[in-house]
Structure 1
Amino acid sequence: MSDVNEISRRSVLRRGFVLEYVTLGWNAVGIVVLAVAAVAARSVALAGFGLDSLIEIGASMVVIWELSGTGEDRQRRALRMIGAGFALLAVYLLVQSTWALAGGFRPHHSPLGIMWTAVTAVVMFVLALGKARTGAALDNPVLRTEGRVTLIDGLLAAAVLLGLVLNTVAGLWWADPAAGYVLVYYAVREVKKIFFGDH
């Protein structure tokens, strides 16, 4: 029975690695696509979302490092690094949203940006679900926490998408940076949960 459990655990662990490598690959491609779209549309939001992809890449690398080893000390360090990523994400969102609103940046229409953020939102939500289930199966708090990073990445993609669509359809340029403030709340909540516990 123990051999069966060990084989099952190795299978689930491989799934965790696959999820992280897919996340890494997607975000690496995304940085290039978003850079092109941001320059073409002169969009602060798209440029900022590209920077968010860097944070997601960093978080995935932390999880890959943690899954390669064992021990509570390694898990604690990995969680702290992910918490730092959430803190950077919160600061980035706050600064970017405030800058875009205060400066009145009015991006051009971006069909490429709309297409990429729409697909990215779906991909990130699917990956986040997979990480949550895999982290629960492995009883791995690091993978579960990084899954929330991926979920927030999906929410941010949806917010950027909404802003791009509202700008294209109704000329509401401020919708995207305004939605960013909502995501600051989620990022700050995760920082508090990692560093200070649930209370």
Structure 2
Amino acid sequence: MTRELDKLYRTAALLALITILYNILEGVVSAWFGFEDESLALFGFGLDSFVEVISGAGIWHMVRRQQENPEQAPDEFERVALRITGGGFYLLAAGLLLTAVYDALHRHAPTTTFWGMVVSCISILSMWLLIRQKVKVGTALGSQAILADAACTRVCLYLSVILLVSSAGYYLTGIGWLDAAGGLGIGWFCFKEGKEAFDKAKGIPCSCS
């Protein structure tokens, strides 16, 4: 393995580790404040962050094994990582759907959405930086699994935007169903990306949104 290739693998492993640690921290903070403020959107966002850890763990494990066994074909590693990523997307979509339905049926309104705006702004910046680096490394390595992980991170960015819009919208208007509508839209996107990740694991070419 060349020094340049080894550097790319170490960078990919570091990005996956950063993703894991960041999402654990984000999940704890978001779930805590979401529970305290009775904000289903923020609490659901926190649970989504824990789901994102699945993708990061799968990619980190795959990259480490490839780095330590460069003579072995990476195909099986990639397929496993893609399946883990796809499963994470499906879990994400299911969680969003359940949260949105519950929110709409019970007409639940949070006590405040201030922390939702704070968390979403921090997340948007963090996810944008991670996406740029993951796409760069994934493209250099020609790794569909790392690019799929970047797509998973992109979904987290979209979720952050939705959280920001719904939190700010509720703060300004008091309309409680904004969370449900946004959650359903992102849920459909997550389902689509999950299907694409599983198709790639089967060798079916498809492009990430």
TM-score by length of 2: 0.87
> Kindly, what percent of the aligned residue pairs are identical?
25
Question: How far apart are the structure 2 equivalents of 1:81 and 1:32?
Answer: 22
User: Which of structure 1's runs of 4+ aligned residues deviate more than 4 A?
Assistant: none
Question: How far apart are the structure 2 equivalents of 1:163 and 1:42?
Answer: 14
User: Residue 175 in 1 paired to residue 178 in 2?
Assistant: yes
Question: How far apart are the structure 2 equivalents of 1:36 and 1:77?
Answer: 32
Cα-to-partner distance string for 1:2-60 (whole Å, 9 max, x where unaligned) = x7xx1111122222122112211211211221133112211111111111011111110
Question: How far apart are the structure 1 equivalents of 2:161 and 2:6?
Answer: 34
Cα RMSD over matched residues?
1.6
Question: How far apart are the structure 1 equivalents of 2:121 and 2:17?
Answer: 21
Question: How far apart are the structure 1 equivalents of 2:147 and 2:158?
Answer: 17
Cα-to-partner distance string for 1:102-128 (whole Å, 9 max, x where unaligned) = 110101113222111111122112211
Aligned to 2:6: 10
Question: How far apart are the structure 2 equivalents of 1:63 and 1:36?
Answer: 27
Q: Is the 8 A contact 1:163 1:172 kept in 2?
A: no
Structure 2 residues without counterparts, runs of 5 or longer: 67-73
Q: Is the 8 A contact 2:113 2:170 kept in 1?
A: no
2:164 aligned residue (141, 161, 164): 161
User: Residue 46 in 1 paired to residue 42 in 2?
Assistant: yes
1:24-173 residue pairs with structure 2 within 5 A? 24-70=20-66, 71-173=74-176
Question: How far apart are the structure 2 equivalents of 1:87 and 1:115?
Answer: 27
Aligned to 1:190: 193
Q: Is the 8 A contact 1:55 1:89 kept in 2?
A: yes
Shift of 1:92: 1.1
Q: Is the 8 A contact 1:37 1:110 kept in 2?
A: no
Matching residue's letter, 1:193: E
TM-score by length of 1: 0.92
Q: Is the 8 A contact 1:163 1:175 kept in 2?
A: yes
Matching residue's letter, 1:25: L
Question: How far apart are the structure 1 equivalents of 2:76 and 2:20?
Answer: 25
Cα-to-partner distance string for 1:140-182 (whole Å, 9 max, x where unaligned) = 1111101111100111111111111111111122112211122
Structure 2 counterpart SS, 1:69: helix
Question: How far apart are the structure 1 equivalents of 2:27 and 2:192?
Answer: 26
Question: How far apart are the structure 1 equivalents of 2:79 and 2:161?
Answer: 31
Question: How far apart are the structure 2 equivalents of 1:121 and 1:8?
Answer: 30
Structure 1 counterpart SS, 2:65: coil
